[in-house]
Structures are given as structure tokens and as C-alpha cells.
Amino acid sequence: MRKIKEVLRLKLDRKLSNRQIAAACGIARPTVSEYLRRAADAGLNWPIPEELDDTSLERLLFPPPPDLPAQERGVPDWSQVQLDLKRKGVTLFLLWQECRQTHAEGYQYSWFCEQYREWQGKLDVVMRQDHRAGEKLFVDYAGQTVPIIDRTTGELHPAQIFVAVLGASNYTYAEATRTQSLPDWIGSHVRAFSFLGGVPELVVPDNLRAGVSKAHRYEPDTNPTYQDMASHYGVAVMPARVRRPRDKAKVENGVLVVERWILAVLRHSQFFSLAELNAAIRELLGKLNRRPFRKLPGCRREHFEQLDRPALKPLPASPYVYAEWKKARVHIDYHVAIDDHYYSVPYALIKKEIEVRFTSNTVECFHQGQRVASHARSYLKGRHTTLPEHMPESHRQAGAWTPQRLIQWAAKSGPATEKLIETVLGSRQHPQQAYRSCLGILRLGKAYGDKRLEAGSDCFTFCVDSVSHDGKSQEVTIRIVGELLGLRDPRSPEKLIVD
């Protein structure tokens, strides 16, 4: 029972403050203020007339609402309230305020909330969840598969059914894939976003291996490729908790609907390719999204056009290109191996662990989140792709030497020196094995001059030509270099070569 008389006595007779009255009566201070306001509106003073008992006093200050028909009191269309609540920032209190602006004698907020929840409880379980427009896309695979017949062998290959459902409108996408592997999982997402014509804020997958590398109650580890795809589209991945099917009840119900209205219809059909199966699924999927709801006005397609489509973020300029990630440790030759081909990285990263992102066309290397190398993808096994800027200075200089460059350098001294260098290079199985000997010969030109080097080169060419290639060519070259240092004729050691 309200303590109206006591509040009026303490205020009008004892002149206590509202805070003191609230403490004395054990009620809230705003309640005290409300009692006093209503008493002032009714013109009451102290003492209260004796004919006003507690019941009469309460009826005077808190008159019952007018007995008006429901239409005049503004009973809202609860299905429209349901749709409005899915829009960003819309609350029950806001909708009630708008209703009271139209119907001043309408119901109070408590009745508004109570009636809405009572109406909402009569809907299907899946419709009792509140999802904001454009917020979540739930994705999963159906447990049921569809067999595809191999025309050549007659073997049956089970096709997996990918299902995606938008939270607010229940708009559904479905397709068949060969497997549930990572490439098919990523490809299904790309095609689902294209089907929707936009991107939601969140994607809620199950904890399958292709999407979640390590399931965890609080911080699941998302697959790097899946996270890369999410970053490309600007969407966040929020995996459902382990063994919590209610976290993805939308897609669980969506899978059930797809199995009943698509897969069950196709149970007697035979398919000889994935394209045939997906063509049949697309036709039935259009009918499913246009099928009217049983307890709500409209259909999935209409709700999608009203709610989700305007709230979806636009698609990026280009679709995601499938890429895989792997961790690799840089070898001492400053290369990492991807499918038996070797790609260079800066030599400073030797023995450090890096992340490699590779597509069908490119290979990118990252260290601590920074890209340190980028190469065109090569499928030649056992070969190397090396950028000069990744090499140490000493290796870079050595790599700049070629047989042609050595021969051109020798030609500056004269034709005899050029012929000598050609002879030395040709005496080895691999020209690179003769580089040291050639450089030793050519450097003599700096010490003795090109004229003396040219004069002795003809004699030493004879010496190289006359020696059989029995595995001792390195010794022969060294002896030639030694003779050049002494500038003695190998055919007549006692005779010095003169200018």
C-alpha cells in the first residue's frame, strides 16, 4: 500500500526535506517527489479531509486509465515492431515513445513490453532470437551429402552442402562443393558474399578445421587463410563456442530447411557433375527464399530487401584470391622453400622464422607483420628465384661475374689474352669453376701492364691446350698463373719474356 498520507504529513506538517521523508518512509526520493506533485495537482493540503480514506485518496491521486477500445489506445502491429527492432539503434522504449506520440491515451511502457514478449513467445524458436540487420552471417555444412556419379567409372562421390544464413532476415544461400577442405571453404564464402551483394559485420562459423585452427572457449585461433579472407572483405570472424549449438541456431535451422526443401526434393535425381547439382540447388534456393513465413508476414527475400541489404557493407573492388600461409625458417642460403622451389629473402633474416603467403601467381614473405619479399610464383622444382638486393654485397659482386664479362675484360688487353681466358673457361665442366683462375690471370695486367700480359698469353695458351683434361685442370691453371707471375716461357723456362 502506498504511504501517501505519511509523506504528506511529513512534508506539509513537519516541513521535512524529500530526502529525509524518503529515509523515514523507506521509499525512493523520486517516489516522494511524484506523490507531492500529484497532491499539488489535486489541490490537497494538510490536514487531509476526514472523508478521504486511503482508498479514496489513492483513487484521487492515481486515477485508473480511461476505458477505451484497443484501437483508440494504439495497439501496435507486433510484426512491424519485430522488424523495426532488427534495425541498428532501435529499442522497445523508442518504439513505445513513438506509439504514445500517436496515441496519447495509449498503454504504459510496462504493458507494451509485456505484450510484445507474449506475442514473440508464440513464434518459432528460431524467430525468438534478436539479430540486428546486416550484423551476422551464420555458416556451416549440412550433415547430408549428395552423390555425384562419375560418368567413366560409375563411382559415387559425395558432394558437401555449404549453407549460409543472415541473422535478421533468414535469407539463405546454399551450394555444393567437392570437399570441406580449406580451398572449398574459402571459395564458398566468396560466392556467398557475391550472392548477397554485400558483406555483414560478423561471420559465425562452426569450429571445423578449415575455419578454426584451434578451438577455444574464449580465444579460438582462426586459420590464417580464413583470417586473410576476412581482412580482405573487412568482416570479423566470431566462431561459435564448442558444443554450444545455440550460438549458431540460425544456421542449424537453415541447414534443416535446406535439407527439407532442397535436398529432399533432389533425392531421386542423378547428377554427373558439380555444375549440374549447383544449377538444381540454385533453382530450389530461389523458391525457398520466396516461400512465405508461417507466422510472420512476407518471406525471406522481402525481409532481406527491407532489412539486411541496406545494412550490408559494399563488396571490395575485386574478389578475394585464394592464398595459403605457412611458417618457414630461412636457410643459410637466405632462401625458403615453397613446393620445392626456392625464393630469396633479405640475408639478414637467415635462421629466422617468417610467414609465407602464396597464391597461384605470387609468393609474399612476412617478418613480424612486415612484408620483406615478393616474388612471382614459379612451379619449377629445384630451381631458385633470387633478387640481387637480398644478397650480401660479396655474393652480389660474385653473382655479377659471367663468362662473357670475363672474356670482354680480357679482350681489352688483347686477342691473345682473350683466347687464353676462353681456353681456361672451356677447360672446366662448369665455367664458374674457372672464375678464380681467370681473375688471377686478368689481375696480372694491373701489376705488369696489358702489353706484357698480352705478350705472354700466347705461350700460356699453348700450355693449357697441350695438357689433357684429366681432372688436374685447376693445377694447370695455377701453374700458368705462377709462370705469369715470373713471366717465364713454359716452353723455355730459362728464357724470360721480354717486352
Q: Give the residue among 135, 183, 130 at the shortest CA–CA distance from 311.
A: 135
Average pLDDT over residues 439-468: 71
Helix (H, G, I), strand (E, B) or coil at 372: strand
Given this model, what pLDDT does residue 245 score? 52
All cell numbers assigned to 104: 496519447
Rounded Cα distance, 277 and 174, in Å? 11
Least confident range from 211-215, 279-283, 433-437: namely 211-215
Would you say residue 336 has pLDDT above 60?
yes
All cell numbers assigned to 445: 695486367
Element (H, E) at 374: strand 370-376
**pLDDT single digits (tens) 36-53:** 888 888 888 887 777 777
Please give the residue that has the higher pLDDT: either 9 or 491: 9
CATH of domain 136-311: 3.30.420.10
Contacts 24+ apart (CB under 8 A), 429-437: 431/403, 433/474, 434/473, 434/477, 435/401, 435/406, 437/474, 437/477, 437/478, 437/480, 437/481
Would you say residue 198 has pLDDT above 70?
yes
Please give the residue that has the higher pLDDT: either 491 or 341: 341
Q: Which residue matches cell numbers 544464413?
A: 165
Given this model, what pLDDT does residue 110 score? 79
Using the 8-state DSSP alphabet, how is residue 405 labeled? H
CB distance 488 to 497 below 8 Å: yes
CB distance 342 to 377 below 8 Å: no
Rounded Cα distance, 278 and 175, in Å? 6
Q: How far is CA 417 from CA 44, 103, 307, 432, 499, in A?
A: 127, 108, 84, 18, 15
CB distance 358 to 364 below 8 Å: yes
Given this model, what pLDDT does residue 209 score? 56
Q: What is the β-pairing status of strands 362-367 and 370-376? A: antiparallel
Using the 8-state DSSP alphabet, how is residue 313 labeled? B
Q: Give the residue among 165, 126, 125, 124 at the shortest CA–CA distance from 142.
A: 165
Which pLDDT band, with edges at 50, 70 and 90, does 147 fall under? Answer: very high
Would you say residue 259 has pLDDT above 70?
yes
Please give the residue that has the higher pLDDT: either 463 or 344: 344
**pLDDT single digits (tens) 49-95:** 777 777 777 777 777 655 545 555 567 777 777 777 767 667 777 77
Q: What is the β-pairing status of strands 202-205 and 212-214? A: unpaired
47 preceded by a cis bond (ω within 30 of 0)? yes
Please give the residue that has the higher pLDDT: either 478 or 334: 334
Average pLDDT over residues 394-421: 81
Rounded Cα distance, 473 and 479, in Å? 10
Report the Cα 462 to chain-centroid distance in Å. Answer: 69
Q: How far is CA 421 from CA 87, 88, 398, 404, in A?
A: 82, 80, 18, 10
Please give the residue that has the higher pLDDT: either 357 or 431: 357
Rounded Cα distance, 166 and 308, in Å? 8
Rounded Cα distance, 310 and 168, in Å? 12
Rounded Cα distance, 308 and 170, in Å? 9
Given this model, what pLDDT does residue 330 score? 92
Rounded Cα distance, 158 and 435, in Å? 61
Q: Give the residue among 403, 398, 400 at the shortest CA–CA distance from 431.
A: 403
Percent of the chain at pLDDT above 90? 27
Given this model, what pLDDT does residue 356 score? 93
In this prediction the pTM is 0.54
Q: How far is CA 318 from CA 190, 194, 314, in A?
A: 11, 11, 11
Would you say residue 248 has pLDDT above 70?
no
Please give the residue that has the higher pLDDT: either 410 or 253: 410
CB distance 179 to 145 below 8 Å: no
